[in-house]
Structure 1
Amino acid sequence: MSPEDALPEDNRFVSDLEEVLPNDPGLPVGWEASTPDPANADDVARLTELLRAHEDAGRGWAGACEDDVLVEVSEHGLRMRENLVIRDGSGRIRAWASVHDRSIGRMLYVHIIERGISAGAADRCSEVMFHWAEGQAREVGAARGLDVQQIDTGAFADDERQHKLLEDAGFNRVRTWWQMSRPVIADEASLVADPEQWERKGVVFRQVRREGDGLPEVDDLRAVHDVLESAFTDHFNSSEESFAEFVHRLREDPGHRWDHWWLAEIVDGENGEPESAGALVGTVSESANGPDGSYVSYLGVLESARGRGVAKGLLKTIIADAAARGRDRVGLEVDADSSTGADQLYVGMGWKTKYVTESWHKDIPVS
């Protein structure tokens, strides 16, 4: 039985737009709200075009591909998501919104409007999309038994148009994130004895164990989930995510690979039982031109294990692994407002900020 079998058969959102939008949502004449068709190559290509243009306008370059869009709109993605598009009179998609039931009390939201349309048309599309998102927030909040449901969306730090749309809709900028990258050279493959498993001062760093069919041992996956849930309990905007939701979400990432998941275990004494101390979940960052990179999606260390070099050991492991695979970089995200001092570790190991993003939130009363 797969851990994902524990997910609800249907998502907690409303698929019928008539239940969430008014009869006349106020769009430009001839424009209409609908849902995208993941089986329609033109729809997927157009959403990819919109997403890439959004990235380019916000940070100066685009990195998204069709696989990133399919995470949001495919049948697999719709287990935990719902989507809305706005088409003009010719049927061309001009705007796209997506909601994701990420975890208890936290609904992620994507808000993308074509950059070339008039300010008036953009404002009207934005109002409809936010109205839809707030309706979906009430639905998912009610389904989870909550009084308040948070909408959590992001923006590039230099994207002034997006900031204005969010401010006009009542969102607040609540956090800043440094998106960092570190170059990797071939010689760094020897940073650790073997990225699959190595040991230092009573701490064993190893990949999650896999069965003969290549799938990981469920006990190891649960250990990774438990470490990350515990390590991030006191961090900004932490909310409980079930094991099934966790595995489902991380497997959706186009860069997901089971051999990029590591556990750190403390083994005290010659016959000591290994105890989970930290975990790192990595992914592949594919490149259209040039070598691929690796990315640190999650890095967590239990409080009881801090001071034993667990975080640094896990980072050295993914760097060595990237070098051995012929990759040229490792990326990660850092909470710029955190008091943990994690940024000092990353800077000390060679990471530099490439661009900056922000979290914007709005709380929606459910009843």
Structure 2
Amino acid sequence: MPATVRPATLADAPAITELLNAVDLIEIGRPETDLHTVEADLKHPEADLERDSWLAFESDRLVAYGLLWDESGGERIDVDHYVLPDHQEAGFAVLGLMEARALEKARDNGADRAVVHLHLNVRPTTDLARLRDRGWQDVRRYHVLRRPLDPAADVSPALPDGVRIRPCAGEDDRRLVHRLYQTTFARHFDFQPRAYEAWLADIDADGLDWSLVWIAATDDLGDAGFLMSRNDREAMGWIRSIGVVPEARGRGLGGLLLRQAFGAFAALGRDTVGLGVDTSNATGAPELYRRHGMTVHYAVDTWETVLG
């Protein structure tokens, strides 16, 4: 019996979370998806759920989920796709609908093709041979890293002369973090420039504890780096992003910001902290994280297809 496919609604968030955690359990050994994360995706102001989300059911059981979004306003389109391993027909039915919508979306943007990206665990529930047969290829690898925390050893770092770290205190600081983010990530793979309000939606700013966002400054350069973290993941404290402007790199600001986050999470009673990193990052970030005791939890590949 073919799957029944329909758009998602916010009311489907618990069922989607259950599906994603079932996939997590298979791929990484434990569930790590939180309901509020799924809800944030579904509530994003740019999300057109009627046209850009898909749920596939077999005998009333949710077996596949897809979500499409467009941050580029051009040819680059992103999709999320999850499927239970024994329901590949339903999963690829959803993927086919996503591909068709991605091309339509890119053409609506004035592009003549769609360059579509999808992130998958390196050992996913999706049939990779079948994915390759559809013209997809893996183009980039990311690692999710984690580190245990020790409240006795992980404390806020002593700062060298001429360096200051402060929490993000208000609207002016939030706009500053946005500018630093846009500057420090501008040359990263898959970076899409985002205006301030769109960026706030991307990071689920309403659910963010801004006291866990820090800005680093030096006497000679002024505000030169930031670290954004969040404490609303059940599995671990999470460092969402860290950036230092090019002219300040090599001066230890990244390590100081990391240790600031480690100390804060340890003080909050967290026993683990994690983050994600592009393994081909040219700024030295993977080595920085290794030196600070972070090890690989699991790996994710970016898959790409070009449609048109």
Q: In the alignment, what sits opposite 2:81?
A: 111
Per-residue CA deviations over 1:270-327 (Å, capped at 9, x if unaligned) read xxxx72211111111533xxxx632111111111111221111111110111122121
Per-residue CA deviations over 1:186-244 (Å, capped at 9, x if unaligned) read 12353325xxxxx53322111111xxxxxx31x22221111121112222222222222
What SS does structure 1 have at the residue aligned with 2:189? Answer: coil
Task: Give yes or no for contact 2:136–2:305 (8 Å, CA) kept in 1.
Answer: yes
- Is 1:286 aligned to residue 239 of structure 2? no
Query: Which letter does structure 1 place at the counterpart of 2:227?
Result: L
CA-CA distance at 1:246 after TM superposition: 0.9
* Structure 1 residues 84 and 200: CA distance shift in structure 2, 3 A: same
What SS does structure 1 have at the residue aligned with 2:85? Answer: coil
CA-CA distance at 1:79 after TM superposition: 2.9
Matches within 5 A, 1:171-320: 171-192=136-157, 199-209=159-169, 216-217=170-171, 219-251=172-204, 256-268=208-220, 275-287=222-234, 293-320=236-263
CA-CA distance at 1:172 after TM superposition: 1.2
Matches within 5 A, 1:138-149: 138-149=103-114
C-alpha distance in 2 between matches for 1:222 and 1:344: 29
Q: In the alignment, what sits opposite 1:58?
A: 27
CA-CA distance at 1:56 after TM superposition: 1.7
Query: Which letter does structure 1 place at the counterpart of 2:145?
Result: M
Instruction: Indicate the RMSD between aligned Cα atoms, in angstroms.
Output: 2.4
* Structure 1 residues 266 and 146: CA distance shift in structure 2, 3 A: farther
Task: Give yes or no for contact 1:104–1:239 (8 Å, CA) kept in 2.
Answer: no
Q: In the alignment, what sits opposite 1:331?
A: 274
CA-CA distance at 1:160 after TM superposition: 6.4
Task: Give yes or no for contact 1:104–1:241 (8 Å, CA) kept in 2.
Answer: no
**Normalising by structure 2, what TM-score?**
0.88
What SS does structure 1 have at the residue aligned with 2:210? Answer: strand
Query: Which letter does structure 2 place at the counterpart of 1:356?
Result: A
C-alpha distance in 2 between matches for 1:52 and 1:172: 25
Matches within 5 A, 1:10-49: 28-29=1-2, 31-39=3-11, 43-49=12-18
% of aligned pairs identical? Answer: 25
CA-CA distance at 1:331 after TM superposition: 0.7
Task: Give yes or no for contact 2:165–2:215 (8 Å, CA) kept in 1.
Answer: yes
Q: Which one has the largest radius of gyration?
A: 1
Larger mean CA deviation between 155-164 and 50-59 belongs to: 155-164
C-alpha distance in 2 between matches for 1:207 and 1:84: 39
Task: Give yes or no for contact 1:156–1:356 (8 Å, CA) kept in 2.
Answer: yes
C-alpha distance in 1 between matches for 2:15 and 2:155: 44
Query: Which letter does structure 1 place at the counterpart of 2:216?
Result: A
Q: What stretches of structure 2 of length at least 5 have no aligned partner?
A: none
Q: What stretches of structure 1 of length at least 5 have no aligned partner?
A: 1-27, 194-198, 210-215, 269-273
* Structure 1 residues 92 and 99: CA distance shift in structure 2, 3 A: same
